Copies of this chain bind each other. A is one copy, B any other.
């Protein structure tokens, strides 16, 4: 494999001159530049990134740490972040933690801090009491609300407000027996979305009813939503609406509801959260909270860039905008739309 030395030899210049050409050093005679470029072309030379990194202390790589790509939300998030990073000329390493505490800690231990310039981290197992782990010596941007108020930059949406708006939408439809699927006793999105749900319920003058609030596991897959819904139906508690804390939970719940013979939204209205692509194609299509994922991705990458560039001082907490996407699962089929 050709090195810079080979290029220099072929072009009849010094190795540093080759480097200068490649780094757009201004004082290069046009003829010299041409010779060098020709040599590079002939030899098919590619710069050795490891060597450059060793000198420069930068790798041009960032790590994205998510629970798992199989969840559409994280898949779409990764898509958006990879694209946003590409614009900055960065390459993205994707690490999956599976929501396993030990693997999340490992990501923060700095084992890769020479390999990447910075990390975008979406924790699932680590929580609010553990912000100590965030005192890391590499640029870090946190996603989601699992570990707010730590010594890091932080991008999320107003989970409380968004969840409240989603619940309010169900209340506005005249529903009063609204199940909340996604609570799992773990701080973070589960808790803040639950808080939003509760705020809407209580400000509507209703009372909190724990029979409407099944406990689910850590992982918000479709199965979890289906199981929780089945549990609710089995319990016999009356239900006229469901708020799934994410779309896959809601879709799982919807599946069970339809299978049990309920009509959506006539008997039970359903709303989700995240607005994944699938919501537009389920039957019925699923109303959802659009969390501004692309904005989150861009913001996270921008914050990381500032942090890496050293231009940031204060730790920032940024809230992306959300909107409600109302579809059939709450308002039924609209004849003209």
Contact = CB atoms under 8 A, between A and B. Distances in A.
Interface string A75-118: 11011001100000001111110000000000000111111000
A251 B82 CA distance: 27
Interface residues of A, number: 52
A92 B91 contact: no
A244 interface: no
Interface in A22-81: 44, 46-51, 53-54, 59, 61, 68-70, 72, 75-76, 78-79
Nearest to A83: B96
A258 interface: yes
Interface string A230-256: 000000000000000000000110110
Interface string A244-284: 00000001101100110000000000000000011011110
A82 B69 contact: yes
Contacts of A333: 259
A7 interface: no
A226 interface: yes
Given A54-B54, A70-B76, A281-B226, A49 B96 contact: no
B49 A112 contact: yes
Interface of A: 1, 44, 46-51, 53-54, 59, 61, 68-70, 72, 75-76, 78-79, 82-83, 91-96, 110-115, 137, 221-222, 226, 251-252, 254-255, 258-259, 277-278, 280-283, 285, 333
